[in-house]
Structure 1
Amino acid sequence: MEVQTILTNTTDTETVKRRLAFQKSFSQEHGGSWRRKSLIEDAKFETAANLEFDKQERKSRGGSISEEEEVFLTSQQNGDVISPIDKDALRRQYTILVSLKDGIASLSRVIRVFETSKVAIDHIESRKAEKVGCKHDVLIQCTGNKDTVTAVMNTIRQNNTIADIWCQNERLVSRQEMWFPRHISDLDNCTHIVTKFEPELDCDHPGFTDKEYRKRRKQIADIAFEYRYGQQIPRVQYADSEVQAWGHVYDRLKKLMPKYACQEYQNSFNLLEKEGLYSQNAIPQLEDVSNLLKRRTGFQLRPVSGLLSARDFLASLAFRVFQCTQYVRHPSKPDHSPEPDCIHELLGHVPMLADPIVAQFSQNLGLASLGASDSDIEKFATLYWFTIEFGICKQKGEHKAYGAGILSSYGELEHALSDKPEKRPFDPDKTAVQSYTDEDLQPLYFVAESFDDMMKKMKDYAAKIKRPYEVRYDPYTNSIVVLNDKAVLKTLADNIAQDTEQMTRAMAAI
């Protein structure tokens, strides 16, 4: 079925920069105490900060903000704590399907109804209509309050060029987080940075008083702000102090790997050295590492300017894309970094992504997150934290690290595999609701019976996430296919049948 995209979300680089700067100032005005609490607190802060930012942006352009948003903005601050969101007061996203009798020509009249009612259209797609007597079906994702959207639908129904108008389950159902990237290029829109631990904000950050470090870090972060899909990843000319920090961590970790790292990690790390990409003397460039991963597992790297929201980060994995920072932790504290930096990404995550089984597992996690609710994203991100970031498994009767947060920090590595922290058996249902801290060395780790056992349990947990549809990745078009249409399901069934026939012939030939 041919789908034509008429309007998609866009990302203005300068607006993104202004939004991030505003979030930082907003944090300072509210004491900064929201930060580093939990994912749900981060989400609440981001909602409040973004609404206030949008309010100021609209006013600067002579626009206005809705009454519901105004009520929300004036009632959310309670001391230093962002109070729980009153969902009934917020505008939400709805999905509406309009069937047109005379084709696209009447679409402008439909759009005019939305504009007049000040209901924001977020996304439009058209396709050939399946219903007899109609020429096109138009899918519209819009944002507004329930009463206004209902009025819009009633007005559209009165238009004699409209054969039918339908909303999910024949009624208005909120789909606040329905949008997700459908093509790998849509990751240009997944740039929601969570300000967790910043040198210009946190007095306990090792770079807080180092103006040169802060300037350098911003310079490198700006490279990621400008990056767009299809471009080569810009190369960074690292300073001697940055290379020295890398070399120091590299040397210490390499000595600890045989004793503490899981076998999957060691195998891939040795490969990266053999390929000439990894050494103590130079920080690998993301473009070079990305090209190797593409050949090995189909994964690729993408530069990012900071810590992404959990939803955006997980969505990237669905396309076999891993978002990487390029700046280096402050040289005064190389043993441990409570924030992502290129040492964490390259020494922690990349070796695991060079393993085909781990790569497929990571993509499956990303696919399971698409379209999931905020609550499920929070639990899923927490599971990711205690596994892919700080996971420990048993191998040959010994505890071994497979989490990137452990493997990229020699301080964390020695701490995690000692008797100091608490260790519990890995149980996804319990782990998903466990609180954690990212300020210092972890006080708690979850231990899987084996790496394979962890992946199986994570797969079973992901299968329980409720969504109104299933999705799959099309590697030929680098796009996500939503399995909610008979034609799409038939194509999938035909592909499975062909694969089954090929496997049968291959087995017969063995």
Structure 2
Amino acid sequence: MGSGTKYISKKPDQDGVVHWDSMESLVWHDLVERQLACIEGRACQAYIDGLELLDLPQDRPPQLADINSVLKASTGWECVAVPALINFDRFFALLANQQFPVATFLRRREEFDYLQEPDFFHEIFGHCAMLTNPAFAAFTHTYGKLGAKANSAQRVYLARLYWFTVEFGLLQQVEGLRIYGGGILSSPGETQYALTGKMDRGSSTESKTNKSRPLYKPFDPVDIMRTPYRIDIMQPLYFILDDINQLYDLAHQDIMSMVVKAQQQGLHPPLFETKIKDVG
């Protein structure tokens, strides 16, 4: 999703196979090798369990059929190859059908450390492991069904809920704070940065002046939907689940009534420079 990209997705052949070249395979290898080391002791247990189930190859990008065999057996989900950018209508429709959109292109070597649009590595390494978890999968399915029926104004609020959970969510475990959001888990810089913060005590001034450390808030869907974000910076704020099953509980609650409440209460002041309009 977005306004434009220089990347073009590879089209699968008639057998559903994406033909990656040797340079792309090397980029995949280097991305996976670096990020596996980075997430050690930082990723949540549900993600680690899912990664073990997926058993991703390191020498080449996996084929979607191999990913799908695991996802379907675990939660009934599957990945679907899509262009580099898709619109919100298609995005929500796919999720509502338990299909996760995966853009079949890999970042170039010169953009190895950061790419604004989600590529194959981000979608597969960042998200697919969590889709083997029933609670996470149920929430994502419900989110898609709600988004497919929502109007454009409601989708803006739903997008914030997705951003601070599926993309940038944190989870409290017995061992300590851990990551489940794919936007963090596919980024070495954000993986290290996200766990260096402290609980928000209500001082927005501190969060704007101390940009080296993020703030944390307890998981609250209405609060989340009132929180602006930017896609091109390290996040100044994360919301923390007490248990991954909170997502399952949320999937069975009236999320759209929460959207109405968030709309009525209005947005929080942004905790960042507003050079770019909040797209979520």
Normalising by the smaller structure, the TM-score range is 0.7 to 0.9
- Separation in structure 1 between the aligned mates of residue 256 and residue 226 of structure 2, nearest angstrom: 17
Deviation of 1:306 (Å): 2.2
Instruction: Describe how 1:215-226 pairs up with structure 2 within 5 A.
Output: 217-218=7-8, 220-221=9-10, 223=11
Which one has a larger percent strand, Structure 1 or Structure 2? 1
Q: Residue 280 of structure 1 aligns with which residue? A: 58
Q: In structure 2, list runs of 5 or more residues that go unmatched.
A: 198-212, 261-280
Structure with greater Cα Rg: 1
Q: Among residues 241, 247, 271, which one is paired with 2:23 in the alignment?
A: 241
- Give, as a single letter, the amino acid of the residue that structure 2 aligns with 1:256: C
Q: Residue 450 of structure 1 aligns with which residue? A: 243
Deviation of 1:253 (Å): 1.8
CA contact (8 A) 1:194 1:306 kept: no
Q: Among residues 229, 237, 251, which one is paired with 2:33 in the alignment?
A: 251
Instruction: Describe how 1:424-439 pairs up with structure 2 within 5 A.
Output: 424-439=217-232
Q: In structure 1, list runs of 5 or more residues that go unmatched.
A: 1-192, 200-216, 468-510
CA contact (8 A) 1:376 1:465 kept: no
Deviation of 1:285 (Å): 1.3
The 3-state SS of whatever aligns with 1:260 is: coil
- 1:364 equivalent to 2:156? Answer no
Say which is worse superposed, 399-408 or 247-256, in terms of deviation. 247-256
- Separation in structure 2 between the aligned mates of residue 429 and residue 461 of structure 1, nearest angstrom: 11
Q: Among residues 191, 194, 216, which one is paired with 2:2 in the alignment?
A: 194
Alpha-carbon distance change, 442 to 321 in structure 1, aligned in 2, over 3 angstroms: same
Alpha-carbon distance change, 254 to 195 in structure 1, aligned in 2, over 3 angstroms: same
1:259-304 Cα offsets, whole Å, 9 max, x none, are: 110110000101111xxxx121111012321233223221111111
The 3-state SS of whatever aligns with 1:259 is: coil
Q: Residue 76 of structure 1 aligns with which residue? A: none
Deviation of 1:439 (Å): 1.5
Q: Residue 479 of structure 1 aligns with which residue? A: none
Deviation of 1:438 (Å): 1.0
Q: Residue 440 of structure 1 aligns with which residue? A: 233
- 1:297 equivalent to 2:75? Answer yes
Kindly indicate whether structure 1 or structure 2 has the higher relative contact order, using CA contacts under 8 Å at least 6 residues apart.
2
- Separation in structure 2 between the aligned mates of residue 466 and residue 442 of structure 1, nearest angstrom: 22
- 1:423 equivalent to 2:216? Answer yes
Task: Supply the RMSD in Å over aligned alpha carbons.
Answer: 2.4
Deviation of 1:362 (Å): 1.7
- Separation in structure 1 between the aligned mates of residue 101 and residue 60 of structure 2, nearest angstrom: 21
1:155-183 Cα offsets, whole Å, 9 max, x none, are: xxxxxxxxxxxxxxxxxxxxxxxxxxxxx
Alpha-carbon distance change, 461 to 399 in structure 1, aligned in 2, over 3 angstroms: farther
Deviation of 1:404 (Å): 0.7
CA contact (8 A) 1:232 1:287 kept: no
Q: Residue 50 of structure 2 aligns with which residue? A: 268
Alpha-carbon distance change, 454 to 297 in structure 1, aligned in 2, over 3 angstroms: closer
Query: TM-score if structure 1 supplies the norm length?
Result: 0.45
- Give, as a single letter, the amino acid of the residue that structure 2 aligns with 1:325: A
- Separation in structure 2 between the aligned mates of residue 455 and residue 339 of structure 1, nearest angstrom: 28
Q: Among residues 124, 129, 139, which one is paired with 1:351 in the alignment?
A: 129
Deviation of 1:444 (Å): 2.2
Q: Residue 270 of structure 2 aligns with which residue? A: none
Deviation of 1:466 (Å): 8.7
Q: Among residues 307, 311, 315, which one is paired with 2:93 in the alignment?
A: 315
CA contact (8 A) 2:164 2:238 kept: yes
- Identity over aligned pairs, percent: 31
Q: Residue 464 of structure 1 aligns with which residue? A: 257
The 3-state SS of whatever aligns with 1:365 is: helix
1:56-90 Cα offsets, whole Å, 9 max, x none, are: xxxxxxxxxxxxxxxxxxxxxxxxxxxxxxxxxxx
